[in-house]
Structures are given as structure tokens and as C-alpha cells.
Amino acid sequence: MTFQRARSEEQRAERRRTILTTAETMLTEMPVAQLSLNELSRRVGLAKSNVLNYFESREAVLLELVDVEMRAWVQDLADALREVDPAGSATDRGNQLTAAVVRTLKARPVFCDLISAQAAVLEHNISAEMALAFKRGMVGRYQQMIELVAGVLPEIGDEGAGQFIATASLLAGAIWSHACAGPAILAAYEADPTLAALRIEFEPALTQSLNALLTGLLPR
């Protein structure tokens, strides 16, 4: 695939969307660590230098993809939380909240892979301007999530909802990175059943962690 030079703002916006869509497709085939700017450029049909006219680095492409994925996930979560029975006990509503968070995250493996690499990888090799724009966008998403969580569990208030979201995002990224072990580690688990206690499965591990977190946040 080759492109003519983008001359209008509409063409530039379309080129940026193509780069993001291509990167997202690549992440269904490989982890974040293996996605290179050279391969992304090849698939888009642009020289690497031309891709850098639209995004300042590989990390900038992936950070913008975090924002795209985050918007979609927040909507998924909002849809899932409509099923929570407001007449249920705080414990029941908390369990339903946890189940919705885990279920909607598991359905978005690209998003989980991105947030697992966000702090250690993606938030490096970017400019201060890029960092500021990204974090400002995250504030808006964070506020949306506070409203969703507090709407289901008003007992913990906005402050508790904020603590839940901040900790849940850290847990999700960390657990995902361990759950998606490499081939050698998976082979080791298969070869030696005594290692089973070290193997982490994303859904049960995150569910248990989030339920424990909510137990601490709910008033006694």
C-alpha cells in the first residue's frame, strides 16, 4: 500500500487514523514489545520518516491508541453496569461491579496489553507536550469512571471510587503482564505441575484482588 502526500487537514487526519488502525491490528497479532516503527511504517505504506510527521515516536502512536481504547472500554463498562440492581446490597453491587470491570477488560486484550506497558514503556520517548495532552485526556476518562463507580456504589463516594479506579488500573496492568507469560515460562508450567501455584490467570486473580479492594473501601 502506498499513499500520496496528504495536503489537507482532512487527509492528514485520515492518515493518522490509518496509522492508529494499523497499529491496533498489529497488536492483535503481537505484544506491544514486538511492535516496531519499521514494521508499522511498512504496513501503512509510508517511509518511517513520514510516519514520524504524524506521530513523534512509536510510543506516541501507542499512547494515542491507549486513549482510543480507553474511550471504548469506558463505554463498555457503562453498558455493563446498567445491569446492576440498585436495590441489591452493597456487597452484591460491589461483586457485580467487579465482574463487569473484569469481563469488559478481558474482552479487550489490546487495551490490557497497552496499559500493562503504559508507565514503564509508553510514557517514555515522548515530548512534554505529548505527555500533557495525554494526561489531560486521561483526566476526563478518570472522571467518567468515578461517576460510573460511584453511581453503582454511592456508599464509597467519589473519593473511594477514585481510589478503586486508580488501584484497579494498576492491578489490571500488572496481572495482565504476568498472566500473558512467554512461551518458555508456559512450557515450564506444563513441564512441572509443582509450579502451578506460580501461574496467574487474569480473570480469577483480578476478580479476587478487586473484591478485596472493595471490602476495604466499603464502610463498616
On average, the pLDDT of the chain sits at 94
CA distances from 188 to 17, 174, 191 (A): 41, 21, 5
Whether this prediction's pTM lies above 0.75 is answered by yes
pLDDT tier, 2 (very low <50, low <70, confident <90, very high otherwise) = very low
Q: What is the pLDDT of residues 33-83, one digit of tens each?
A: 999 999 999 999 999 999 999 999 999 999 999 999 999 999 999 999 999
Torsion of CA 128, 130, 133, 134, to 10 degrees: -110
Question: In b/e form, how buried is each residue of 157-176, taking b as 16+ CB within 10 angstroms?
Answer: eeebbbbbbeebbebbbbbb
pLDDT tier, 220 (very low <50, low <70, confident <90, very high otherwise) = confident
Question: Of all residues in the chain, what percent carry a pLDDT higher than 70?
Answer: 97
Q: Which domains does the chain have, with CATH numbers?
A: 1-55 (1.10.10.60), 58-217 (1.10.357.10)
Query: What is the 3-state composition of the chain as percent helix, strand, coil, each rounded to the nearest 5?
Result: 80, 0, 20
CA 128 from chain centre, in angstroms, equals: 22
